[in-house]
Structure 1
Amino acid sequence: MKKMSALFSSVLLSSTFLLPLSASADQSNGKSDPSITSSNRVVERIVAHMTDKEKIGQLVMPSTHDNTSKMPDDTTRQLIQHYKAGSVIVYGARDARTTAKYNNQLQKWASKTRLKLPLLVSADLEFGTKQHVTDATPFPRQMGIGATRETKTAEDVAKITALEAKATGFNWNYSPVADVNTNPANPVIGVRSFGEKTNLVSEMTAAQIKGYQKKGVVATAKHFPGHGDTSVDSHLGLAAVTYDRHTLETVHLPPFNAAIDAGVDSIMTAHVIINAIDKELPATLSKKVLTGLLRKEMGFKGLIVTDAMSMHAIAKEWGAGQAAVMAVNAGADIVMATGNLDEQLETYDALFHALKSGQLSENRVNESVKRVLALKIKYKLFSDRYDDPEEAVNVVNKPSHKETAAEVARKSITVVKNEKILPFNPAEKKNTLVTGPIIYGSTNFINNIASIVDEKSAGNVMSYTTSTDSKDTEIQQAVQLAKQADQIIVPTFSPSELPAGQAKLVKELQKTGKPLVAVALGLPYDIKQYQEVGAYVATYAVERWGSPVPTSWKAAVDVIFGTQPGGKLPVSIEGLYPYGTGLTY
């Protein structure tokens, strides 16, 4: 890929900070890796020339702020140039060309600081770069990838995501989710997890880490030491898990051990109290968890980044400044400052004053700064920080990427139940009713599925969207429409518990006697609330924020109309369907 050359500071050049990383050394005689040795020398020389303000800047990751053109605004420039931010997290949705320009602008501002240190530019790209780049490739959610049971598939998805991320200027991805989703009612992890079995999650986590990092993007195992058994969304409140140390070590920690063994370069903390380790503080703020467990017991030497510190689990209890100091003292290397500008500046100021006052030791700060700089050198950001916006468009729109995503989606779709209902025949001119709920205020989900059915089927298609918790009057209307239909598709959605109205909608339509298939768009547990349904398909396509993954529900429609499904349940549906259930035609 064509890159614009990076700018180096005269200070760096004159001080020979950037030594060649190919210095000779005889590894056969047991000497250290020459590239690591040279990198360490570079890092030591940079740190020796840094001011306290520059050091603190490397420990803070602000979220960026945008102008009306969806480009970074002057506030963001000040965070980078005045407060010396060493990394950023980018939100929002832009096309590939705009995203590359956006991230180039961030790097250009960083290049005009005294040391011209490049930025780590991060984002949550859990289901592909599509999560923040509108024309990029959307892949199935991690639970869907878990349903394929193929570690090669997991790695391939990560490789393509990394290629598209790197082309658009992202060098750090907050993925994979290494949480084992042992609580079916978990309100925040759910389909973001590979599944409920520790071995499956461990294998898939390791595979994705290798995929991301082979293609030049930092991978992140999250949320340490496990967010899969919580019943509280840490965006909204402080969760605590009460299981014992044995459960922690045998169920929730193995995926993180697998991540470390796979060479993961960063691990993200969970805003969750782990009673077995520290009954007082969430993992993000706990030295027992971050330094005692992760560093000393598990031997992790990479970079520890906090989850977003604006989440209520932290912000409401401790506030941005105090929490930032506590997190770094606990062992975190980068504090993710995602609140408003005042909270971001409070984070900088609190860390700076803590260093000056001795509340944060110089050694503790230097440890983290060195890890951050070493990561930037490892990923060649000093010489390769910019991206060509036109080339970015080409990379994210490669037909082969879209084809891979479609195939992975097909392999993920799980036919859980089928009492001679499926497949529907696309060649028959049968009328199909597609009816289901508004999802997070949007009718696009049901309408889009209906459009895909219309393309697939020779017959006519009717579409009707109900409230999220379908009302009796809406159910009656759906039943009336069903009289004109020959077959019915009912998507349902639950981020945790299925609304009673959706279950009633399925049950009442089932009574019409028309061939009916229910399609779980979110968690695969919906069938517990309408067990009498004749056919049931799980897609794992939508998480608790309602982020759409049309690749998955398009694959579900293909399966409904005869394409061979490939998925096996990566979770059990208690009392009904065991882990591994997956029917074929």
Structure 2
Amino acid sequence: MKKMSAFISSVLMGSTLLLPLSASADQSNGNTGPVKSPKDKVIEQIITKMTDKEKIGQLVMPSTHDTESKMPNEDTRKLIQNYKAGSVIVYGARDARTTAQYNNQLQKWAANTSPKLPLLVSADLEFGTKQHVTDATPFPRQMGIGATRQAKAAKDVAKITALEAKATGFNWNYSPVADVNTNPANPVIGVRSFGEKTSLVSSMTAAQIKGYQENGVVATAKHFPGHGDTSVDSHLGLAAVTYDRETLETVHLPPFQAAIDAGVDSIMTAHVIINAIDKDLPATLSKRVLTGLLRNEMGFKGLIVTDAMSMHAIAKEWGAGQAAVMAVNAGADIVMATGNLDEQLETFNALSDAMKSGQLSERRVNESVKRVLALKIKYKLFDHRYVDLEEAVTAVNQPAHKETAAEVARKSITLVKNENVLPFNPTEKKLTLVTGPEIYGSTNFINSIASMVDEKSAGNVKSFTTSEDSTTTEIQQAVKLAEQADQIIVPTFSPSELPAGQAKLVKELQKTGKPVAAVSLGLPYDVKDYPEVGAYISTYSVERWGSPVPTSWKAAVDVIFGTQPGGKLPVSIEGLYPYGRGLTY
């Protein structure tokens, strides 16, 4: 208790001395009961000394703003020091050393701000810390992990991601995606989901939560109560799902219940209207969903964070300020204030004004502040707010991490169809043509795969990149090149529906009579549009924003040239291939 007393005194008297708290603190999820733990008493004493502005600050998570040198700028300092932000979400790409410097600077600003509380520093690290740290380890997307059918692989990926994230200054990851991808045309979830079966998504979700949290990083199950059956991207519009309560309870909620049972410390809301619960408001703003369903019915005691509030599903209809007040009153603990600085300040000011007017009660605010502080204590952020730059670089460059990623990727690659086309022989000096579309204007995808083929094969390689929706002229050029080649690899990509030109490209190449292997880089459903292809491989490696995961492409090239494929379809391909399909050599 002496350490806790010293901590309380140092914080509340404004001293810069921050003595360790975690050694004496209870390590529970911060639940309050009739008998208060030492940690609960500490939290309550801290709260009694906080101003309303400081409390509101703990309820807002702004995205950071950067200088040209990719360090946090003056606007970010103001958000932390003037508006008392208790957490941040970091975007952009930096190497490990710069990331550690960046996050340390954020923590220094917080340490020099009353009441000197450490920051929760978060990021979307769905396919590994690599998503924002350039020299970190890239892992397969979640659908690829689902294709392995191995919960251990899911946990190993989460463990390594957590170790690299924590070393570079992140203590909160917005992963895993617990959405069950039941809609093949879903424009935003897709390969970010483990698959279409509730049982698979549930087991993988629980495994990853343990992998993250046992290694010191807050995990987040998202997007509650399920974004897998939508046909609208909530970044662009407000989606609604019309299935009944039984479907909600049997298909979409179990992965979130599995997350709760696994001890998840955070759940993120979905900007989706769930008609079975609330026909008027998206989950993020609905008390029926967040308090009624998640808290009261499912028993979640942890922290609820909203998805980005600048997304059109929310911002366009309600505006940043009004939506923030609605979200907190609905049961959210932290409002993710992305968007521009004006929108972020609107969020802080609206919550402050609502508290002053009584629209937002002090009791409701204190409930959320308690959960935020409990999380900071549980993850020992008072003792360990800074990271070592050299250790950050070392952590993300462990050869064992890269080997694990490569092994999981090999186990994920799914050979869906093979009519005596594969494997290609790597020792034969055959000319291989690699041709496929640019992805969001980039030719790097096809060029990178061609380079990998060149390294793998004793023969020569030619590559040709078409536009995203391959034109007739481009297809004719590809066919001419194919006539000179001995074997053909055709990557295709669709974030939702496959462009007609890509399907025609595969069909015309198949007509040449040469061995053709098509490789889906995104959703595994591409083969529906070119079912006559001789061989088809799914990699699940690129989502709707085009984030590259070359680890999976490398594994696919290995499989094409003889490595045994290990994946089984985590979704069904309607009319062609069932869930669980996966060929071997």
Paired with 1:498 and 1:24, the residues of 2 have a C-alpha distance of 53
Read off the aligned partner of 1:206 and give its amino acid letter.
A
Q: Show the counterpart of 1:176.
A: 176
Contact 2:11 2:116 in 1 (8 A): no
Residue-by-residue CA offset, 1:498-525 (whole Å, 9 max, x unaligned): 0000000000000000001000000000
After superposition, where does 1:232-251 map in structure 2 within 5 Å?
A: 232-251=232-251
Q: Show the counterpart of 1:525.
A: 525
Q: Show the counterpart of 2:118.
A: 118
Aligned-pair distance for 1:325?
0.3
Q: Show the counterpart of 1:4.
A: none
Q: Show the counterpart of 1:560.
A: 560
Paired with 1:58 and 1:23, the residues of 2 have a C-alpha distance of 23
Contact 2:14 2:114 in 1 (8 A): no
Q: Show the counterpart of 2:283.
A: 283
Paired with 1:433 and 1:21, the residues of 2 have a C-alpha distance of 59
Read off the aligned partner of 1:474 and give its amino acid letter.
E
SS at match of 2:250: helix
SS at match of 1:544: coil
SS at match of 1:483: helix
Q: Show the counterpart of 1:460.
A: 460
Q: Show the counterpart of 1:439.
A: 439
Paired with 2:400 and 2:13, the residues of 1 have a C-alpha distance of 42
Paired with 1:533 and 1:68, the residues of 2 have a C-alpha distance of 48
Q: Does 1:486 align with 2:486?
A: yes
After superposition, where does 1:2-17 map in structure 2 within 5 Å?
A: 10-12=10-12
Q: Show the counterpart of 2:395.
A: 395
Paired with 1:389 and 1:248, the residues of 2 have a C-alpha distance of 46
Aligned in 2, Cα 1:9/1:118: closer, same or farther, shift over 3 Å?
farther
Q: Show the counterpart of 2:416.
A: 416
Residue-by-residue CA offset, 1:402-456 (whole Å, 9 max, x unaligned): 0000000000000000000000000000000000001011000000000000000
Q: Show the counterpart of 1:501.
A: 501
Contact 1:17 1:46 in 2 (8 A): no
Contact 1:17 1:43 in 2 (8 A): no
Amino-acid identity (%): 84
Aligned-pair distance for 1:22?
5.5
Paired with 1:291 and 1:33, the residues of 2 have a C-alpha distance of 21
Paired with 2:22 and 2:398, the residues of 1 have a C-alpha distance of 33
Contact 1:57 1:83 in 2 (8 A): yes
Contact 1:9 1:116 in 2 (8 A): no
Aligned-pair distance for 1:38?
1.6
Paired with 1:196 and 1:84, the residues of 2 have a C-alpha distance of 41
Q: Does 1:473 align with 2:473?
A: yes
Contact 1:274 1:282 in 2 (8 A): yes
Read off the aligned partner of 1:389 and give its amino acid letter.
L
Contact 1:17 1:42 in 2 (8 A): no
Aligned in 2, Cα 1:392/1:17: closer, same or farther, shift over 3 Å?
closer
Read off the aligned partner of 2:395 and give its amino acid letter.
V
Paired with 1:163 and 1:19, the residues of 2 have a C-alpha distance of 22
Contact 2:18 2:382 in 1 (8 A): no
Read off the aligned partner of 1:108 and give its amino acid letter.
K
Q: Show the counterpart of 2:536.
A: 536
Residue-by-residue CA offset, 1:293-329 (whole Å, 9 max, x unaligned): 0000000000000000000000000000000000000
Paired with 2:19 and 2:371, the residues of 1 have a C-alpha distance of 16
Q: Structure 2 regions of 5+ residues with no counterpart?
A: 1-6
Contact 1:138 1:405 in 2 (8 A): yes
Q: Which moved more, 1:36-45 or 1:183-192?
A: 36-45
Q: Show the counterpart of 2:386.
A: 386
Contact 1:435 1:446 in 2 (8 A): yes
Q: Show the counterpart of 1:50.
A: 50
Contact 1:470 1:502 in 2 (8 A): yes
Paired with 1:14 and 1:439, the residues of 2 have a C-alpha distance of 53
After superposition, where does 1:123-272 map in structure 2 within 5 Å?
A: 123-272=123-272
Aligned in 2, Cα 1:353/1:219: closer, same or farther, shift over 3 Å?
same
Q: Show the counterpart of 2:318.
A: 318
Paired with 1:315 and 1:568, the residues of 2 have a C-alpha distance of 40
Residue-by-residue CA offset, 1:541-563 (whole Å, 9 max, x unaligned): 00000000000010000000000
Q: Show the counterpart of 2:3.
A: none
Aligned-pair distance for 1:114?
1.5
Aligned-pair distance for 1:10?
2.9
Read off the aligned partner of 2:216 and give its amino acid letter.
G
Aligned-pair distance for 1:19?
8.2
Paired with 1:292 and 1:32, the residues of 2 have a C-alpha distance of 20
Paired with 1:38 and 1:500, the residues of 2 have a C-alpha distance of 63
Q: Show the counterpart of 1:3.
A: none
Contact 1:118 1:382 in 2 (8 A): yes
Contact 1:270 1:306 in 2 (8 A): yes
Paired with 1:253 and 1:555, the residues of 2 have a C-alpha distance of 33
Paired with 2:34 and 2:281, the residues of 1 have a C-alpha distance of 39
Aligned in 2, Cα 1:23/1:538: closer, same or farther, shift over 3 Å?
closer
Aligned-pair distance for 1:13?
7.1
Read off the aligned partner of 1:463 and give its amino acid letter.
S
Contact 1:63 1:338 in 2 (8 A): yes
Contact 1:12 1:18 in 2 (8 A): no
Aligned in 2, Cα 1:9/1:424: closer, same or farther, shift over 3 Å?
farther
Paired with 1:24 and 1:158, the residues of 2 have a C-alpha distance of 26
Contact 2:522 2:540 in 1 (8 A): yes
Read off the aligned partner of 1:168 and give its amino acid letter.
T
Paired with 1:396 and 1:22, the residues of 2 have a C-alpha distance of 28
SS at match of 1:525: helix
Contact 1:99 1:133 in 2 (8 A): yes
Paired with 1:19 and 1:153, the residues of 2 have a C-alpha distance of 35
Aligned-pair distance for 1:143?
0.1
Aligned-pair distance for 1:21?
5.2
Residue-by-residue CA offset, 1:354-410 (whole Å, 9 max, x unaligned): 000000000000000000000000000001010011110100000000000000000
Aligned-pair distance for 1:115?
1.2
Contact 2:452 2:557 in 1 (8 A): yes
Q: Does 1:85 align with 2:97?
A: no
Q: Show the counterpart of 1:329.
A: 329
RMSD in angstroms over aligned alpha carbons? Answer: 1.9
Aligned in 2, Cα 1:19/1:466: closer, same or farther, shift over 3 Å?
closer
Aligned length: 574
Aligned-pair distance for 1:11?
3.3
Aligned in 2, Cα 1:52/1:562: closer, same or farther, shift over 3 Å?
same
Paired with 1:561 and 1:250, the residues of 2 have a C-alpha distance of 41
Contact 1:8 1:382 in 2 (8 A): no
Paired with 1:267 and 1:14, the residues of 2 have a C-alpha distance of 33
Q: Show the counterpart of 1:351.
A: 351
Aligned-pair distance for 1:41?
1.1
Aligned-pair distance for 1:14?
8.5
Provide the TM-score with structure 1 as the length reference. Answer: 0.96
Provide the TM-score with structure 2 as the length reference. Answer: 0.96
Aligned-pair distance for 1:20?
5.2
Read off the aligned partner of 2:278 and give its amino acid letter.
D
Contact 2:25 2:377 in 1 (8 A): no
After superposition, where does 1:563-578 map in structure 2 within 5 Å?
A: 563-578=563-578
Aligned-pair distance for 1:23?
5.5
Paired with 1:509 and 1:152, the residues of 2 have a C-alpha distance of 40
Q: Show the counterpart of 2:4.
A: none
Aligned in 2, Cα 1:33/1:322: closer, same or farther, shift over 3 Å?
closer
Contact 1:8 1:116 in 2 (8 A): no
Paired with 1:324 and 1:240, the residues of 2 have a C-alpha distance of 20
Read off the aligned partner of 1:55 and give its amino acid letter.
K
